[in-house]
Structure formats: C-alpha cells, structure tokens
Amino acid sequence: MKKVIIIGATGTIGNAVCKKLTSSGYQVITISRSSQISVDISDIESIRNMYKVIGAFDDLISTTGKVAFKPIQEMSYADFMLGLTNKLMGQVNLVQEGLKYIKKEGSFTLTTGILNHEPIALGSSAAMVNAAIEGYVKAASLELREKARINAVSPTVITEALDKYASFFAGFKSISADEAALAYLKSVAGIETGKVFHVGF
C-alpha cells in the first residue's frame, strides 16, 4: 500500500482529497498545522522535522498555501512576501526537502489555482504565486525524471467555499471539492509529470 502525505488535510480540498485517496486504497498521512505530526510550510525547519518523523514515503500532495487579497495599490512588501514565503516557497520546500525521503517513482502534487489564467480584482499576489509554482513544476519535472514525478492541480473556486469567496469570484462557475479531489488522485495514480491539471476551467 502506497504511503501518501497530504498537507492541508483539514482544509476544504484537503479533506476531500483524504477521503478520495483513502477510498482508493492508499495509506494516507494527514498533516496540518494542528495535527499530531504538524507542519508550518513557511518554516523550512518545520518541514524538515516533519519528514524526519515520517521517513520514507511514496507520494506527497499539498493543498495549502496563503496569499493576501488586497487592491494592488494597497499591497505592501509584507503582503507580497506572505504569498512568496507561504504558498510559493512553502510548497517548493516541501518538494526540495521531500526529495531526500521520497521513494523511487514517487510523486509530488502541488496546488495553484485559476487566478493566473483568469485574474480577479484583489488577486495580484495569488496570480503571481500560482504562475511561479506552475513554472517551477514544469522545470523541475525535467530534472527529476529519474527520481520522481511532479504535477500541480489548478482548481477554480470551490463550491463549499462560496460562503467565504463568492464575492471575489462573481460570474465564475464553481466545482465541488470532491471533483477537485479527482485531479489529485489522477496525479498520484497516473504517469504524467510536469502537468498542470486544470479543474473547472
């Protein structure tokens, strides 16, 4: 049975991904900031400590990452750095440190989002970070061909999160967390690498 680490397991997408992979026969290790084995992806030492506890694994899925949503005229250096240190470098560091522990033919699946393809007001940081992650995935896949696969999932707004985000995504068609979870399963179970799986757009 393959061992899959899921970062952000208590979130809307993460929870759906945990259920999907568990029902598909994977051994799931659920990780969040508050789990028994916890991680703060903005802290590289926290990431290193997580891997030391878990040890060897087959696949890692990241469904987490913070960015600031503000009018671009109001975005400060600290606001941009939140997205860069958390969603971008947090996920990059999950891969870079995870390479020391991942089993041969394993995979990494990161999370981006629709906003670098269909921008919205207040979303400049999210668009920038998503594009950077996708660039990293494409380039890293070429260097890691003999070591591991790496992909990203880019979902549109999630239906279960509309109570919080509907005003940001006026006119966008939403998808369920369960539908998004299928893309993560596809990334883990499939053979593709360097792929950005668009979900809902």
Which pLDDT score, from 0 to 100, does residue 33 have? 87
**What is the domain range of residue 165?**
3-199
Q: What is the CATH number of the domain that holds 32?
A: 3.40.50.720
Structural tokens at position 21: 């992979």
Which amino acid belongs to residue 31?
I
Structural tokens at position 192: 């593709």
Q: Which residues of 2-20 are buried (b: 16+ CB within 10 A; e: fewer)?
A: bbbbbbbbbbbbbbbbbeb
pLDDT digit string (tens) for 31-66?
Answer: 988 899 999 999 999 999 999 999 999 999 999 999
Q: Please check whether residue 83 is in contact with residue 126, taking contact to mean a CB–CB distance below 8 angstroms.
A: yes
Total domain count, the chain = 1
Cα gap 78→130, rounded to integer Å:
18
Judged against a pLDDT cut of 90, whether residue 157 lies above it is answered with: yes
Q: Which residues of 38-50 are buried (b: 16+ CB within 10 A; e: fewer)?
A: ebebbebeebebb
pLDDT digit string (tens) for 105-127?
Answer: 999 999 999 999 999 999 999 99
